[in-house]
């Protein structure tokens, strides 16, 4: 289950997600509409129990604790939730104090993901992040102190004027903190963002592709030395601290999303809510569905999605699972593609599964494109 809270204290330069600043007056009414959607959708997945709940954004911790508590109460009232449920919440460092974090933990939220991005203040300012490096470190320590034992952070490489020395420094800070999960992302310049305009007018200079590739390799090597296990292209966990929620996405499981801009996937249907806060609230108040887009996933799209998602993970693409799901011979469809990728040393076959090599992971988009059948 995914629950979207679209509010932010400040929009980051690179962000193109459905998130909005300056809408504090809508916090209460949005939370109420969200609870109504949760109540009215309980028949969508039947009585299937949930074992992961994920509060994403935006910044979910912009909501007061009382509103988060009411949302979780509604979830537990209308759905079957496993006793060992993983409940994750995204948070911005520096915007949550120890008392707020303690309240989150007391609500039963047992996993927290901080949008740190970097431990260099000059880079944080360029990205329009609201926290400093010191705040980020303190937030992680506070979370651990109040009881969180599953703490994740995001890191972005390829930032304006970032160097390998900066990456090395970030790795040193990571090693000093009680973090057991990291997601790393190359900076993406999306057309609708402030960062895109800055790049276009040359007010921001990005590292070259060669430097970014070196940063990527440096991060992989550094995290491996710290005993982080890479279980997905961009995700690393220590001592098995993998995101159970995200693993469900990559394994093609059904999921339901609530809130403005949330996506759901049930059976062979994928649908999306309106990303805009006021229209979302209005539709819920009128007793209407907030869904604005629905897609029926049929073959060959379903085959492609299965292959893409499986190859992202350490468990790889298992032909027997493909065949049991689709009642088709995997190699009849993809045999020549597989042979070509193995020849190029982008895939390897081991333990009954095809997996990306290190080089294959670098060129994941190319590998995935080879599985397109049209």
Among 60-69, 81-90, 131-140, 189-198, the minimum mean pLDDT is found in 189-198
pLDDT digits (tens, 9 = 90+) for 65-120: 999 999 999 999 999 999 999 999 999 998 999 999 999 999 999 999 999 999 99
C-alpha distance across the termini of the chain, in Å: 32
pLDDT over 80 (residue 44): no
CATH, residue 24: 3.20.20.70
pLDDT over 60 (residue 374): no
- The domain total for the chain is 2
The answer to whether position 288 is within a domain reads no
Out of 208, 231, 250, a domain closes at 250
Residues 306 and 190 in one domain: no
What strands, in cross-sheet order, belong to the sheet with 291-296? 263-266, 269-273, 291-296
Out of 188, 222, 250, a domain closes at 250
Tokens of 214: 């070196």
Residues 119 and 202 in one domain: yes
The answer to whether position 23 is within a domain reads yes
Residues 75 and 144 in one domain: yes
Q: Cα–Cα distance between 145 and 140 in angstroms, integer?
A: 9
pLDDT digits (tens, 9 = 90+) for 244-283: 999 999 999 999 999 999 999 998 999 999 999 999 999 9
Residues 307 and 223 in one domain: no
| Domain region containing 355 | 301-369
pLDDT digits (tens, 9 = 90+) for 226-244: 999 999 999 999 999 999 9
- State the pTM of this model: 0.94
By the 8 A CB rule, do 232 and 246 touch? yes
pLDDT digits (tens, 9 = 90+) for 299-349: 889 999 999 999 999 999 999 999 999 999 999 999 999 999 999 999 999
Q: What is the mean pLDDT of residues 152-178?
A: 97
The answer to whether position 107 is within a domain reads yes
pLDDT digits (tens, 9 = 90+) for 138-162: 999 999 999 999 999 999 999 999 9
Residues 240 and 311 in one domain: no
Q: Cα–Cα distance between 367 and 360 in angstroms, integer?
A: 7
């Amino acid at each position: 289950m995914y629950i979207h809270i679209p509010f932010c204290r400040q929009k980051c330069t690179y962000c193109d997600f459905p998130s909005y600043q300056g809408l504090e007056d809508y916090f209460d009414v949005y939370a109420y509409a969200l609870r109504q959607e949760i109540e009215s959708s309980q028949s969508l997945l039947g009585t299937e129990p949930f074992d992961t709940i994920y509060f994403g954004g935006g910044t979910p911790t912009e909501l007061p604790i009382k509103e988060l508590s009411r949302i979780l109460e509604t979830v537990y009232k209308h759905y079957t939730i496993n006793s060992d449920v993983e409940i994750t919440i995204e948070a911005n460092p520096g915007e949550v104090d120890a008392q707020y974090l303690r309240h989150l933990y007391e609500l039963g939220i047992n996993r927290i993901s901080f949008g740190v991005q970097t431990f260099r203040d000059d880079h944080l300012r360029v990205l329009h992040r609201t926290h400093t490096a010191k705040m980020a470190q303190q937030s992680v320590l506070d979370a651990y102190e109040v009881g969180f034992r599953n703490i994740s952070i995001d890191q972005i490489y390829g930032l304006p004027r970032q160097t390998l020395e900066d990456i090395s420094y970030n790795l040193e800070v990571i090693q000093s903190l009680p973090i057991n999960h990291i997601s790393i992302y190359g900076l993406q310049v999306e057309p609708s963002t402030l960062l895109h305009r800055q790049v276009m007018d040359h007010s921001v200079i990005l590292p070259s592709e060669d430097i970014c590739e070196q940063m990527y390799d440096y991060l992989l090597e550094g995290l491996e030395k710290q005993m982080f296990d890479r279980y997905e292209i961009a995700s690393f966990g220590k001592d098995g601290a993998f995101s159970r929620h995200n693993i469900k996405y990559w394994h093609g499981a059904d999921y339901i999303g609530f809130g403005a801009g949330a996506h759901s996937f049930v059976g062979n249907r994928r649908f999306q809510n309106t990303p805009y806060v006021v229209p979302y609230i209005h539709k819920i108040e009128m007793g209407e569905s907030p869904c604005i887009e629905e897609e029926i996933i049929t073959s060959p799209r379903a085959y492609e999605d299965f292959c893409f998602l499986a190859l992202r993970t350490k468990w790889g693409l298992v032909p027997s699972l493909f065949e049991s799901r689709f009642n088709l011979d995997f190699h009849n469809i993809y045999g020549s593609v597989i042979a070509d990728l193995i020849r190029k040393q982008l895939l390897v076959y081991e333990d009954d599964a095809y997996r990306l090599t290190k080089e294959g992971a670098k060129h994941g988009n190319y590998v995935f494109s080879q599985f397109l059948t049209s």
